[in-house]
Amino acid sequence: MGARGALAGGRPVGVVTGARTTARRVALEALERIDGGAYANLVLPWLLEASSLDRRDRAFATELVYGTTRMRRACDFLIDRLVGRPLEPEVRNVLRLGAYQVVFLRTPPHASVSATVDLSPARARGLVNAVLRRLVREPPPPWPDPPTRLSYPDWVVHRLASDLGGPAAEAALEQMNVAPDVIERADGYIQDEASQQVAAYVGAAPGERVADVCAAPGGKATAMASAGPAVVVAGDHSPVRCGIVAANARRLGLDNVAVVVADATRPAFRPRSFDRVLVDAPCSGLGVLRRRPDARWRIQPGDVGRLAALQCSLLDGAVGLVRPGGTLVYSVCTLTLEETESIDAWLASAHPDLVAIPAPGAPWERLGRGARLLPQAAGTDGMFVVGLRRDAGS
């Protein structure tokens, strides 16, 4: 959402500085590139691949980048009360890394402070050392408000409190500050359990034709192709993202996935030609903020309404692809009512020939004619799904 570039340009770590590559130095470079518009989930693997770090240090660098990015606002509060003046971006990121280690990761001071000070420009080492040692010595102050404590923008906290209720929103936000487990499917693809459940809910059967009209990066398309096996047409408007889907299908040895570059709002397929259609729509992503830590700082309040309008356009295009008796599944990885329950209500009004099918059961909870999975319910991503069947006689 508004990133200037996936990797924000430049050369990888070590080449830039000539300094010895360490997990903390890789993490610092990643934070600087994320500040410049790069996506954490793209820039960090690129930097790690270019580094000489072993597996343990790669895991540590990942924890530092994702954790520091999640807790950025909380770290800034802890830092600013001790500094009291503006900081240049590089020094601020060094201090964020140090504060995250000392306060949230509980890294022993002898292992964290000196190594973090070494990342600083020489002119700022005294300041960084003094601030980090005060964080070690002094008890943390009371948090000024819930958004600072939870480390989210005000609008995210208020929006979810309004849409979910205060206690449920707070539990969801706290859960999304916890690093997710790595879940590997039987075929080796890494995919969160909630996404696997959405793919299973589509119910693709052997020999069926299934359209996944917003397929990139291909997790749900490959899950449906593996389980059926059905013939899965995986579409995306971006040629680059389609390339990722195709690469994933090849890696899994799936020859029943056809990848097409297509605008799902104006599908180029024969009407009513698919048994099942999945619209896993672009959304605000407020259910997957643990997995996309930088998204909480990138998404803006106005994006929700814009994305809801896009979701309606995608569904309008997808509805025509469903054969009589076939099914349409709409899913999003967010928790706002505007992108979940309100979209379902719009579907009921705009497409009354589509009748709801049973929603997933617990730990999913009913919402409208569909179901919502809160992050805290089973330690998964947050999701919404609704399934609809076209009347066989329509």
Q: Please identify every residue annotated as catalytic.
A: 333
Q: Are 171 and 193 in contact (CB under 8 A)?
A: no
The answer for 31, left when phi > 0, alpha when psi is -120 to 50, beta otherwise, is alpha
Separation CA 262–CA 131 (nearest Å)? 53
Q: Which amino acid is at 373?
A: L
> Helices 89-99 and 109-117 meet at what angle, rounded to 10?
170
Q: Which phi and psi angles does 42 have, rounded to 5°?
A: -105, -45
Burial of 241 per CB tally in 10 Å (0-12, 13-18, 19+): middle
Which residue intervals of 203-300 are DSSP H helices?
219-227, 239-251, 295-298
Candidates 9, 63, 314; CA nearest to 177 is: 63
Collect all residues with Cβ–Cβ distance below 8 Å to 331 and sequence separation of at least 6.
198, 278, 279, 280, 281, 383, 384, 385, 386
- Residue for token pair 């707070």: 170
Separation CA 11–CA 17 (nearest Å)? 10
Separation CA 306–CA 288 (nearest Å)? 19
The answer to whether the Cα torsion of 190, 191, 192, 196 is positive or negative is: negative
The answer to whether the Cα torsion of 137, 138, 139, 144 is positive or negative is: negative
CA 15 to chain centroid, in Å, comes to: 29
Separation CA 149–CA 126 (nearest Å)? 28
Neighbours of 205 (CB within 10 A): 14
Q: Are 335 and 172 in contact (CB under 8 A)?
A: yes
